[in-house]
Amino acid sequence: MTSQTIHTHPTAQLTAVSQERLVRRQIQVAEPLAELAAQTGISLRTANKWLSRYRSGGVAAWVDSLSVRRNQRRTLDPQHLQQAEDLRHQRCTLRRISRLLAAPLSTVG
């Protein structure tokens, strides 16, 4: 196993190295996953998730699992944003702008 760059947030309980060490000990030494999870201070569910990700795609599977919301806010592209601003200056309501640009009301807002 080789360690790749994993994007971790400041409050991440374990780094990529620790995750890799946990998985290696479980696979190579066959230590019980529940004991490994307790030793590292994570839940058994999290340990199972990491092991499952590793088995499905190796260390690269960890790289793809960022700690971000699944639903990111949408933004307008620069052209639509300019159109929305122009329509607001013409005193159009957000509902009307939303309809004209075929964009969700929450995005226009």
- H runs (alpha helix) in the chain: 16-28, 33-40, 44-57, 60-63, 78-89, 94-101, 105-108
- CA quadruple 84, 88, 91, 92: dihedral sign: positive
What pLDDT is attached to residue 2? 46
pLDDT of 68: 57
Cβ–Cβ < 8 Å for 50, 62: yes
Domain ranges for the chain: 16-63, 78-108
- 19, pLDDT greater than 70: yes
On the question of pLDDT at 79 being above 60, the answer is yes
